[in-house]
Amino acid sequence: MTALLESGNFILDSLLRFVETSGFGAFFAEGGWKYAVMIALACFLLYLAIKKQFEPLLLLPIAFGMLLTNLPGAEMFHPTLFDEGQIDWYDLYKTGGLLDFLYLGVKLGIYPCLIFVGVGAMTDFGPLIANPKSFLLGAAAQLGIFATFLGAYALGFAPNECGSIGIIGGADGPTSIFITARLAPELLGPIAIAAYSYMALVPVIQPPIMRALTTDKERRIKMSQLRQVSKTEKILFPIIIAVVISLLLPSAAPLVGCLMLGNLMKECGVVDRLSKTVQNELMNIVVIFLGISVGATATAGSFLNFKTLGILVLGILAFSCGTAGGVLLAKLMNLFAKEGKKINPLIGSAGVSAVPMAARVSQTVGQEYDKSNFLLMHAMGPNVAGVVGSAVAAGILLAFLG
Amino acid sequence: MDKFANVGWSEMLLMALIGFLLVFTVLVLLIYVMRLMGWFFTRDRKPKTAAVVASEPALDHAISDQELAAAIITALKLYKSALHDQESEMLTINRITRAYSPWNSKIHGLTQVPEKK
């Protein structure tokens, strides 16, 4: 009888130990609720990606990475290996798992650059070459970056964190990740999620600002047709931009250099296989790795705090200021432009990058007022100028704060 | 973090201002580079047009592109309106044979007159 009781107790103890060490047990331990919240948040992001199709190509792997890293007990990602901006190589080889090794691509700035090669190969800089003034609109839209930089400081963030948060205004996911991995890696999760979520919300955020800052007459301005751009110009453009920007701002060279390499592959026409690879296979593989590893950094400890809330608020400020900057500069340029050479201010908002979504928004809002007004090609100029502008702004912030 | 110990509002404002101005400066520089490139690749077209205009001293007044286009269009219109239609004068009868079916049968398509008895 005693032996039976003893074995019963042993089994009960074992079961209790099993329950305590299981993931379910961790939910009831101190601070366990945070895991539940993070899992619920990851599921919400999965819902947004699958059902609402908010940037699904990136949001889905990010949300799943977030889900994996917040499964208590699984310990799939070890943030301690990358503490204080340093990589603990010895422990990484000893204890590192798949997510730790994938995260190296983010930490070392490899994935954003590879994505930029693909983005370059998919971008047509023709409208920008035909109308170089678009560079001004691309520059004005970077107002969002620097206004948010100051806004973040007002909320009590450290200067390096301000730089990372400000770059959300560039509306450029890879650039945000590239900068944050260098300046404030602990904020990578919230910043990447804010950047991609707001990029998906560009059609919601931008139109009210565009309407508020323009008059009915301005929205109906028809722009003259762009000139034809020769193949030689298109080939020379990436080479010239890469050389000029890299010489002026060496810290922007990795991003701009990769963007222009991809574009040269597309335009030269002699490496079609490489061009197709970087546009499809390479891009897709890197997006999967980037998404999962960025999502993995969104651990309960680093995500559930007031900083995240601040980043989400500042992110929307960044997008709004960027949009306003582009539209206002277009209006200012119109004051000095001759009749027939005026710019439709709606294309200014496309300067916030977010290619090609922001350009499509300009086209859609323009057509609401005049069905025969086609702004898409005109908006593509500031749109791709915004990509170059945000990479330049990133280089400047790195030079100041890196 | 110690690196930023001495950074205050004035430094942050300066950084933001200089940063924004630098973005503008770099991109304005690129505008000039692009314009230079555009000029280089389109310069061949402009001097030719200028040379043609210069080599026509008989024209006392300059003819604008729109006037020129209007003159060409009018000439073409007059020329085309003076032309008669020319047809090929070739007639071809294509025989189409269809397999018999009650649906395309003429006799079945006619209204059947009732027989008087």
Q: List Cβ neighbours of A91 (8 Å cut-off, separation of 6 or more).
A: A78, A80, A81
Average pLDDT, chain A: 89
Chain centroid, CA A67 distance in Å: 20
What is the 8-class DSSP label of residue A23? H
Q: Select the residue of B27, B37, B41 nearest A385 (Cβ to Cβ).
A: B27
Mean pLDDT throughout B15-25? Answer: 93
C-alpha angle A165-A170-A173 in degrees, rounded to nearest 5: 80
Q: Within 10 A of A239 (CB to CB), how many other CB atoms are there? A: 15
pLDDT for position A247: 92
- Please judge whether B16 and A128 are an interchain contact, meaning their C-beta atoms are less than 8 angstroms apart: no
Q: Is A321 in contact with A149 (CB distance < 8 Å)?
A: no
Residues 247 to 286 of A: which have CB under 8 A from any B CB? Answer: 248-249
Q: From the CA of B70, how many Å to the nearest CA of chain A?
A: 21
- Band of the pLDDT at A287, cuts 50, 70, 90? very high
pLDDT surpassing 90 at residue A80: no
The model's pLDDT over A232-256, given as tens digits with 9 standing for 90+, comes to: 999 999 999 999 999 988 988 999 9
b/e map A78-113, b = 16+ CB within 10 Å:
bbebbeeeebbeeebeeebeebbebbbbbbebbbbb
CA angle A34/A36/A39 to nearest 5° reads 110
C-alpha A120 chain-centroid distance: 15
Spell out the residues 6+ positions from residue A249 whose beta carbon is closer than 8 angstroms to its own.
Answer: A392, A395, A396, A399, B26
Q: What is the mean pLDDT of residues A24-45?
A: 86
| A201-211: pLDDT as tens digits | 888 899 999 99
Residues A191-213: what's their mean pLDDT? 90
Q: Which residues are CB-neighbours of A364 under 8 A, at least 6 positions away? A: A203, A207
Given this model, what pLDDT does residue A373 score?
Answer: 87
- pTM for the whole structure: 0.76
The pLDDT of residue A348? 93
pLDDT at B55: 52
ipTM given for this complex: 0.82
Contacts for A358 with CB less than 8 Å, ≥ 6 apart:
A171, A202, A206, A349, A350, A351, A352, A379, A383, A386
Per the CB < 8 Å rule, is B27 touching A236? no
Instruction: Report pLDDT for B117.
Output: 67
DSSP state of A208: H
For residue B107, give how far its alpha carbon lies from the nearest alpha carbon of chain A (Å).
56
Check if the beta carbon of residue A48 is closer than 8 Å to that of residue A54: yes
* Residue B49, pLDDT score: 52
pLDDT at B45: 63
Rounded Cα gap, residues A58 and A199, in angstroms: 11
Residue type, position A213, single letter: L
- Mutation for A interface: B34, B41, B66, most A CBs within 10 A: B34
Please name the helix (run of DSSP H) or strand (run of DSSP E) that holds residue B14, with its range, or none: helix B9-42
Nearest residue on chain B to A393, alpha-carbon basis = B23
Q: pLDDT band at B63, cuts 50/70/90? A: low
Residues 6+ apart with CB under 8 A from A130: A226, A227, A228, A229, A381, B38
State residue A326's pLDDT score.
94
Locate A49 and state its tokens: 């990606």
A28 compared with A264, residue with greater pLDDT: A264
Q: What is the overall mean pLDDT for chain B?
A: 77
Chain B CB contacts of A317 below 8 Å: none
* Whole-number pLDDT of residue A15: 83
Contacts of B20 in chain A (CB under 8 A): 142-143, 146
Cβ separation of A244 and B29 shorter than 8 Å?
A: yes
The minimal CB distance from A159 to the residues B7, B17, B31 is found for B7
Within a 10 A sphere around the Cβ of A173, how many other Cβ atoms? Answer: 26
| Higher-confidence position of A215 and B7 | A215
Highest-confidence segment of A84-88, A304-308, A393-397: A393-397
pLDDT for B19 equals 93
Residue B28 phi, psi (nearest 5): -65, -40
Residue owning tokens 């366990």:
A32
pLDDT at residue number B61: 55
- The Cα A85–Cα B90 span in angstroms is 86
Secondary structure (3-state) at A226: coil
Q: How confident is the model at residue A220 (pLDDT cuts 50, 70, 90)?
A: very high
The closest of A295, A271, A401, A332 to A61, measured between CA atoms, is A295
Asked if the Cβ–Cβ distance from A396 to B22 is below 8 Å, we say yes
For the stretch B70-107, pLDDT in tens is 889 989 888 888 777 667 777 777 777 777 777 777 77
Is residue A364 exposed (0-12), middle (13-18) or buried (19+ Cβ within 10 Å)? middle
Contact B19 A128 (CB under 8 A): no
Residue A143 in contact with partner chain B when CB distance is under 8 A:
yes
| Long-range pairs for A247-252: beta carbons < 8 A, 24 or more residues apart | A248/B26, A248/B29, A249/A392, A249/A395, A249/A396, A249/A399, A249/B26, A250/A395, A251/A394, A251/A395, A251/A396, A251/A398, A251/A399, A251/A402, A252/A391, A252/A392, A252/A394, A252/A395, A252/A396, A252/A398
Phi, psi at A343, each rounded to 5°: -105, 140
Nearest to B31 among A132, A160, A227 (CB): A132
Q: How far is CA B56 from CA A290, B44, B49, B50, B52, in A?
A: 65, 20, 11, 10, 7
Q: How many CB atoms lie within 10 A of CB A367?
A: 16
Q: What is the pLDDT of residue A288?
A: 93
- Please report residues of B whose CB lies closer than 8 A to that of A400: 15, 19
Which residue numbers of B have CB closer than 8 Å to A's CBs? 1, 4, 7, 9, 12-13, 15-17, 19-20, 22-24, 26-31, 33-35, 37-38, 41-42
Two structure tokens written together for B37: 């490139």
Q: CA A275 to CA A121: how far, in whole Å?
A: 6
Burial of A144: CB neighbours in 10 Å, binned 0-12, 13-18, 19+: buried
